[in-house]
Amino acid sequence: MGVRILAVGDVCGQPGLDYLEKHLKTYKKENDIAFAVVNGENANVVGITPRQADMIFRAGADVITLGNHTWTRTELQPYLDERTKILRPANFGPQCPGRGIAVYHTAFGDVCVLNLMGRFTLDSNTDNPFVIADGYMAEIQEKIILVDFHAEGTSEKRAMGFMLDGKASAVWGTHTHVQTSDACVLPKGTGYITDLGMTGAVHSVLGIDPEQSIGKFMGDPPRRYESAKGPSKLEGCVFEIDPETGRCLSAEGVRLQ
């Protein structure tokens, strides 16, 4: 029997933070979750503040991963250097604050978590995530390797999954906020899902108030995004991993509301 690891999709605004606070620890306990990685990319709707990161940790996250909005809140930069359990994409320039990969000691062994960001349509000045990932895989010694690939294109994410099949224990996509139905174990033993989905308002457009999103597409003047109101949800995936081999035994999408 393996250890159960939970990956949680992008936390969107206060609704997402509130849902985590109320439900994450209970879910972990009831479902024997040994380790939880939460993408906090949109905790402030766009970006994340140190206070919000602390809230996610208190809610039950073991590690926070980020993405293309990492630098939106400048007050986060010192926090990234100070805290080892929050990761920004490893393919940002080496002069950037923080780190994109780290090893965490647990009761079931060491866990390596790698955060990467795609380049298709994200218009970010990053190194090639495939080259970076390939280089790290040649160096990582830990059996359990988890990869959050924050990317837009489904083809880019699936290509990363297959490139890391048999090397990483689990690879999941974040960023699009829409959960995909392809949770699986790839042929060589890597757990995979193209996108975890999001944690935030149910009746929303990717966490945003629908009327505001419709207005944007109708041509309204730009304004600060606002979280939608109403009931919330948590989306993600549970990977059961053999701690002796690092191979994934099962992968199952999660949707709570």
* Residues sharing a CB contact under 8 Å with residue 234, sequence separation 6 or more, in sequence order: 8, 9, 19, 20, 23, 24, 27, 199, 254, 255, 256, 257
177 part of the active site: no
**DSSP code of 44?**
T
- Of 23, 69, 150, 175, the active-site residue reads 69
Compute the chain's Rg from CA coordinates.
17
Residue 198's nearest CA partner among 7, 61, 9 is 9
DSSP 189: S
Instruction: Round to whole Å and give the CA distance between 123 and 89.
Output: 14
> Active-site residues: which are they?
69
